[in-house]
Chains A and B, each alone.
Chain A
Amino acid sequence: MVEAGRSPNIEILTLTEVLEVEGGAGDFRVTIRKNPRYIDPDKCTACGECMKYCPRLAVDTYNANLNFTRAARIDFPQAVPTKYYINPEVCLRLNYETCQLCVNVCGPKAINFDQKPEIKTLEVGAIILATGFGSVPLKALEKFCYGKYSDVVHSIEMERLTCVSGPTEGEVIRPSDFRHPKKIAYIQCVGSRDLSCNQPYCSSVCCMYAVKQASVIKEHKPEVEITLFFMDIRTQGKGFDESFKNAVERYGFRIIRARPGKVDRVNGKLALNYVDEDGSVRREYFDLIVLSVGLSAPEDAEKLSKVFGIKLNEFRFAKTNYLSPIETSRPGIYVVGAFQGPKDIPESVIQGSGAAALASELLHEGRWTSTVIKKYSPEDIELMSGEPRIGVFVCHCGVNIAGVVDVKDVRDYVKNLPGVVLSEDVLFACSQDSLEQLKEKIKKYKLNRIVIASCSPRTHESLFQDTLREVGLNLAFIEMANIRDQCAWVHSDDPIKATEKAKDLVRMAVAKARKLTPLELQGVKVTPSALVIGGGVAGLLSAFSIAEQGFEVYLVEKEKELGGNLRRLKFLITGEDPQLFLKDLINKVKNHPKIKIYTEAVIENISGYVGNYTSTIRRGEASEIINHGVVVVATGGKEYRPSKYPLDGKNVITQLELEERLDKGAKRGVPKKIAMIQCAGSRGEELKYCSKVCCVQALKNALKIKELSPETEVYVLYMDMRAYGFYEKYYLEARKKGIHFIRFPEDKRPIIEIQNKKPVIKFWDILLQEELELKVDLCVLSVGIVAEDVREIVNMLKLPTTEDGFIMEAHIKLRPVETVTDGVFVVGLANGPQPLTEVLAQARAGAGKAAIPLAKEFIEVPPIVASVDEVKCIGCSICAEICPFSAIEMVKVEKRKKAQVIKAACKGCGICASHCPVFAIDVGGFTLDAILEQVRGFRKEDQEIKEEKKVSEI
């Protein structure tokens, strides 16, 4: 969020509505209405005085209406833009022409009640809809007496209650008497999988978030007993099953498979009635009931549909095709996140990157034509190389700092510190005129180190760095002392001690400033081409998208033919023809002038780093060396063949084998009685994990069987039917068509025996509580997916894998297609088991991410990086081995091994520096010298009154 807020190429229009969209892909004209904020964001310093004095209470919608806020407010401290706003619906000035208190207390005079709505027209090439989800109908909640009994809350309310920055500071209390509940029940699928309120689909995320919330509650209050009521446990995401199991074990959650019916209140407790899996009716009491609410389409979906001219699906979400999951019905308009369908964070982020790729494909010819690139004056070497001449500016921040800290006292104290040439106090150090003055003072007093005693470097350092660069000073020559957030704000009860602390902090900052050394802003040249490893559908689509965005692609496939696993899929649950799609995609890739295909080829060697990789591709006897800037790993996966089952290819086969048979059609005749066994070998049997695709695959094939041969009896034996999202509708359809679903518990899996050449399945019937036998003509196993063995590639690229062999993403939620190695991306089954439509989104996302370095001629290396003093380095290679980003390599310099930092890959964490035996490696901005000097600055030189004090390093 902060990054987007800082980019000069992203204009964030908050409080803005889209009124009309004209034109078409590549040339849209979008009319918007920008509603007034009543606070000028350029002037607002986020000091919070307006909110402090605003007399008008308002319900805090950000906190799920559990709390009060003010008419003048910010929703949460990290909001972007970090600026306050006035809610016109409740503001006294705007409604009754009274009050205006905020105008008087606002130091920077940012409040402006004369603002009017602005109508503007934007010219854009592509549109991405990321409107998020709406809330489920109240009807769904009222079924469980929400609104009638105050101790029935929904999960969004619970989310705020468990949040340490929420209305109760993380204390879970029940609304009726503010006591800590001892027994809590979670009811799943509220407003999901519920035909009665027209929400038949599964919301995909609730099983996982419920157990997360329950875990948070347990961490706060270990004595709470929590029971969760599930229909199915749908934790199908990568690593989710394991997390779920661990949480249940660790916190001792009680899991009940039932859908509770009635809620009533008896003696201050809530009673739940439900039918257990074995058919017995139970009644139990709880202190608090949490309804796990699902994700709905946005409330104004119809309006969005009208304004943007896009179609909605039957559930009012944006309509997309299974094979083009990010594209709406109108070309040039893409949809990502929950408006496309209920989904979790990783899926949403993947779609976001995928949409960026699509937009980049569409608009690549215009790349860099309207980009803002800031130019700076050259560095003043003479000024910078002289003895430190430090200028200190102590900020009042209106009354934010000056109201607590004696700013003038601090200013005078600083004057006598060694190296300080100038010490001044300013009203708002970050205001435009103060920045201009800063530049003048730098020139006038020949200042070459600046200390700003004000707020947090997190929000303001880049602003001051920019100002320094404008007058030819290196961006490193600023040090901030945070005397607002970490002093005035938090010690408002003790101004004397706060002033002392401010002096110490500034003295320590001045000490560090004396030792600041310049940071180098460098660019690493990029070879604008990509290596895509794997010619399955993920690799094909990634390659195609990168090429469409204007870059050369080398696509390497070890087999003779392109297409991978998709060649075996004969039909899709949504009805499209996957072979037609694949054929078309292969043709497009083969005929693309920017793609070079290598089949029957292997990667022999990859070396280099982001922007500059060199690889050797071997085909039989011949080998070729190529240079490329990025790598997309799409090495895929394959069907797992579980050893515990009598797979024989005849009477006991896998779903893929069944699909091939069904494709050959009814000619051969469909057997009369077929059983499918889910999780064969998965979820703790031979493979630990859930493969995500098998439940839907079983539904697809079962429905196909019913289509070809309605009289065939189909039995599906399952643990949890994971028909998540809109797949739920096929589950409903299958049930309607008379397909039998029989659940088995995890510890009593079905056993297959062959009697008289026919499979006999022995299984445990939960309802009858006894073992039954089922004789069938054909037994189909839903087997899992394993990753292809790509150890060599993984080692060459230094990629970590999960225990199960899938390549690990850099961050499971926020960076799902990136790896820890910069410039290397992972898509498709190599990343984790997932259905085709998700593979397609991920392949596009990988292409979108890969194109970021490719689009730039140079990659700017963030200046805070490590560097090695070659003279001191003893070549022990500790740093190279502990670097989390493989950013250090050992090279030979005059026959001696020396560490060398690959600046483009370094993230500046400094783990190397703290572990170097001889202090030969150091980190820009946080050098050993500078930090030690700052630590030494902690000691008071002038023997002031010694008192208890501490250093805290954060």
Chain B
Amino acid sequence: MARYNYPPFHRVIRVMCSGRVDPLFIFEAFFNEADAVMVGGCKLGECKYSEGNFQALIMGEMVWSLMRLIGLNTERFKLEWVSTAEPVKLVEDMKAFMLRVRELGALGGIEGKTKKDLEFCLQSAISVCKNIQVRTAFGNIAKELKKMKDFSLETISKKVGEKLLPLLKSKLYEVEIKTLIQDGPKSLDFLVEKTGAKPEELSAILNKIMKT
């Protein structure tokens, strides 16, 4: 029986299906000092639960979108589909991923974020992942694509871009601004710098926050 060695830098969390993986889990993992996260599942089309891994594709797209928004390198998150009869592929995938992560280095480094910055943006991302509106939009895309029977990457990225991304943006900035102004008012320039958003994107959110 062949046992293939691979680098010992990962820790495994078992779930029943890649479809169980909540976007929240990924950002919790980053928040808890993971430098990278990989989600593995059955080969596409061979899901034991019929379409869990297709749904995980949408989850992946959402995670990458949010990573981009908070300024994390998207290569730190990966989906990999491997059949149980392909140990070699799994090992190769893991090796390649770990090699790449080694190049990227510790989380925050290549992104130019201090420990505090990292904590701030990841905590914000976690809040966004728990947000009811964001989750409803995420669930609705899952619903729609299932109905369309179309889980192609083009359709997924189109739908996430159209229906989820604007919401992710506004909720993220809202959460971030709220955190930033907790201890007193801040200048727009400061907020723009911290959130990485455009001034016009922030003003609408600021207005909304003022009202409440």
List A residues at the B interface (Cβ < 8 Å).
48, 51, 74, 76-78, 163-165, 169-170, 457, 482, 486-487, 489-494, 497-498, 500-501, 504-505, 508, 820, 864, 876, 878-879, 881-882, 884-885, 907-911, 913-919, 923, 925-926, 928, 931-932, 934-936, 938-940, 946-954
Whether, in the assembled complex, B118 has its beta carbon less than 8 Å from a beta carbon of chain A, the answer is: no
Asked, given contacts A909-B49, A923-B20, whether A953 binds B35 with beta carbons under 8 Å apart, the answer is no
Flag if B88 contacts A169 (CB, 8 Å): yes
Flag if A482 contacts B22 (CB, 8 Å): no
CB distance from B4 to the nearest CB of A (A): 7
CB distance from B26 to the nearest CB of A (A): 8
Within 8 A of A (CB), among B34-59: 34-41, 48-52, 55, 59
Flag if A951 contacts B142 (CB, 8 Å): no
Flag if B12 contacts A482 (CB, 8 Å): yes
Q: Which residues of B contact A508 (CB under 8 A)?
A: 11, 13
Q: Closest A-chain residue to B134, C-beta based?
A: A917
> Which of A164, A820, A864, A938 lies in contact with B50, CB distance below 8 A?
A820
Flag if A950 contacts B10 (CB, 8 Å): yes
Q: How many Å lie between the Cα of A815 and that of B29 in the bound state?
A: 37
A-B contact pairs, 7 of them (CB 8 A): A76-B1, A820-B50, A876-B139, A909-B16, A926-B14, A931-B15, A953-B14
Asked, given contacts A917-B135, A938-B32, whether A491 binds B15 with beta carbons under 8 Å apart, the answer is no
Q: Which residues of B contact A500 (CB under 8 A)?
A: 8
Flag if A490 contacts B10 (CB, 8 Å): no
Q: How many Å lie between the Cα of A879 and that of B88 in the bound state?
A: 36
Asked, given contacts A932-B28, A950-B11, A952-B37, whether A164 binds B86 with beta carbons under 8 Å apart, the answer is yes
Closest 6 CB pairs of A and B: A910-B20, A878-B139, A909-B49, A911-B19, A917-B135, A497-B8
Flag if B9 contacts A914 (CB, 8 Å): no
CB distance from A878 to the nearest CB of B (A): 4
Whether, in the assembled complex, B21 has its beta carbon less than 8 Å from a beta carbon of chain A, the answer is: yes
Flag if A878 contacts B106 (CB, 8 Å): no
Q: How many Å lie between the Cα of A820 and that of B147 in the bound state?
A: 16
> Which of B2, B59, B136 lies in contact with A165, CB distance below 8 A?
B2
List B residues at the A interface (Cβ < 8 Å).
1-25, 28-29, 32-41, 48-52, 55, 59, 84-89, 91, 94, 97-98, 101-102, 105-106, 130, 132-133, 135-136, 138-140, 142-143, 146-147
Q: Which residues of B contact A486 (CB under 8 A)?
A: 12
Flag if B1 contacts A74 (CB, 8 Å): yes
Asked, given contacts A164-B89, A952-B38, whether A938 binds B11 with beta carbons under 8 Å apart, the answer is yes
CB distance from A115 to the nearest CB of B (A): 23
Q: How many Å lie between the Cα of A491 and that of B98 in the bound state?
A: 14
Flag if B29 contacts A878 (CB, 8 Å): no
> Which of A165, A505, A915, A950 lies in contact with B139, CB distance below 8 A?
A915
Flag if A950 contacts B52 (CB, 8 Å): no
Q: Which residues of A contact B36 (CB under 8 A)?
A: 950
Q: Closest A-chain residue to B38, C-beta based?
A: A952
Given A487-B8, A885-B50, A914-B23, 16 additional A-B pairs, CB 8 A: A163-B85, A164-B85, A164-B89, A500-B8, A881-B146, A884-B49, A884-B52, A907-B49, A910-B20, A911-B17, A926-B15, A935-B28, A946-B33, A949-B35, A950-B36, A954-B39
Flag if A939 contacts B5 (CB, 8 Å): no
Flag if A165 contacts B22 (CB, 8 Å): no
Flag if B13 contacts A935 (CB, 8 Å): yes
Q: Which residues of A contact B40 (CB under 8 A)?
A: 952-954
Q: Which residues of A contact B142 (CB under 8 A)?
A: 878, 882, 911, 915
Secondary structure at the B interface, as helix, strand, loop or mixed, is mixed
CB distance from A519 to the nearest CB of B (A): 13
Q: Closest B-chain residue to A486, C-beta based?
A: B12
Q: How many Å lie between the Cα of A925 and that of B14 in the bound state?
A: 10
Q: Which residues of A contact B50 (CB under 8 A)?
A: 820, 884-885
Asked, given contacts A878-B136, A934-B13, whether A491 binds B101 with beta carbons under 8 Å apart, the answer is no
Q: Which residues of A contact B55 (CB under 8 A)?
A: 882, 911, 914-915
CB distance from B159 to the nearest CB of A (A): 14
Residue with the greatest number of chain A CB neighbours at <10 A, chosen from B8, B24, B32, B41: B8
Asked, given contacts A164-B89, A909-B49, whether A952 binds B10 with beta carbons under 8 Å apart, the answer is yes
> Which of B34, B41, B51 lies in contact with A951, CB distance below 8 A?
B34
Q: Which residues of A contact B6 (CB under 8 A)?
A: 490-491
Flag if A918 contacts B132 (CB, 8 Å): yes
Q: Closest B-chain residue to A504, C-beta based?
A: B11
Q: How many Å lie between the Cα of A873 and that of B4 in the bound state?
A: 46
> Which of A884, A935, A936, A948 lies in contact with B51, CB distance below 8 A?
A884
Flag if B13 contacts A928 (CB, 8 Å): no
Residue with the greatest number of chain B CB neighbours at <10 A, chosen from A493, A878, A936, A952: A952
Q: Which residues of B contact A494 (CB under 8 A)?
A: 8
Q: How many Å lie between the Cα of A169 and that of B88 in the bound state?
A: 7
Q: How many Å lie between the Cα of A919 and that of B24 in the bound state?
A: 11
> Which of A505, A913, A936 lies in contact with B28, CB distance below 8 A?
A936
Flag if B1 contacts A953 (CB, 8 Å): no
Flag if A950 contacts B35 (CB, 8 Å): yes
CB distance from A939 to the nearest CB of B (A): 4
Flag if A954 contacts B12 (CB, 8 Å): yes
Q: How many Å lie between the Cα of A884 and that of B51 in the bound state?
A: 7
Flag if B13 contacts A51 (CB, 8 Å): no
> Which of A864, A923, A935, A951 lies in contact with B10, CB distance below 8 A?
A951
Flag if A950 contacts B16 (CB, 8 Å): no
Q: How many Å lie between the Cα of A486 and that of B4 in the bound state?
A: 10
Q: Closest A-chain residue to B91, C-beta based?
A: A490
Q: Which residues of B contact A498 (CB under 8 A)?
A: 8
